[in-house]
Amino acid sequence: MDSAGFENANKLHNAGRIEDAAREFHALADETDDPDEKAASFANEHKCYCQLGWLDKANALMRQIRSLPHQDKFVRMIVDFADACMMAQMAKLDEGALKFEQILDSNRELLTSSDNRNLYEDIQERRAFLLAGLGRYTQALPILEEAVSFTHGESDPKLVHFYLGVCYDAASESSLAKKEFLRAVDLGLDAQFEASARYRVAMLYFTSGAFGQAKLHLECALAVPEGVADLQLRKYIYQGLSSTCHYLGEFQEEQKYLKLAQPL
């Protein structure tokens, strides 16, 4: 493989010039007749397409990669990883989770190597998020507990703690769930996740009778800029505020929030 060209493509990618990097990786693939080198270059191009949200092009390229007679086990692994990531991005959660699991099962020796530790952590973290998203909390929980210690460059501790909160909540571990949701908020969740985390914390406080804390977090959820663009979540927050105000004896506020919830 043209090492200078590969280095240039990576520099373009790292500089945020994703389209330029994709073109460079494609050129590298065209320049070689080696099926493993071609597959590896295409896999990098595929990653660029996924980052750009060009999923149709990514899917077509994956079919082309699959048609190559590549034999190197590491190359097959990174191709499978790219495919699993694409499935997740296409909201095919079951397929993505299964593909990540198959990668782990088929490449245990490679993934126990320190050279591939970052990839192992990336697979596990992405797999845990998919399992939690599918409601398979008991499967996701031990992976997320492991993921707290992950240090790879693409790790997302904010989401690890958020989904830990979701899993602990599902396991009726209210104290642990609150702790994880608040930790995720402190780390700077994206708006939609922050609104969801604060709503979930509020409901945990509500269930325990801490209505003042519940109201505080519900109001914080509403105040997150663009955090409640999801109308269903907004409705739940208004309903939660209405119920909370009722128990606080704030009956005018109760009716106000009840009316706000009705059109949604």
Type of residue numbered 86: M
Name all domains of the chain by residue range, CATH numbers in brackets: 157-264 (1.25.40.10)
What's the confidence (pLDDT) of residue 17?
96
User: What are the structure tokens assigned to 132, written together?
Assistant: 């939690």
- pLDDT on residue 70: 78
Answer for the pair 128, 163: CB distance below 8 angstroms, yes or no. Answer: yes
Answer whether residue 154 shows pLDDT above 80: no
pLDDT tens readout for residues 35-55: 999 999 999 999 999 999 999
100, 85 in Cβ contact below 8 A? no
- C-alpha 159/C-alpha 244 separation (Å) is 28
Say yes or no to pLDDT of 91 above 70: yes
Give which of 107, 179, 167 is closest to 143, Cα–Cα.
167
How far is the C-alpha of 117 from the C-alpha of 101, rounded, in Å?
16
The token duo for 10 is 């990576």
The per-residue pLDDT for range 136-152, each reduced to its tens digit, is 999 999 999 999 999 87
Hey, what amino acid is at 114? S
- How many percent of the chain have pLDDT more than 70? 98
Calpha distance 101→33 (Å, rounded): 31
Question: What average pLDDT does range 124-140 have in this prediction?
Answer: 97
CB 121 within 8 A of CB 147: yes
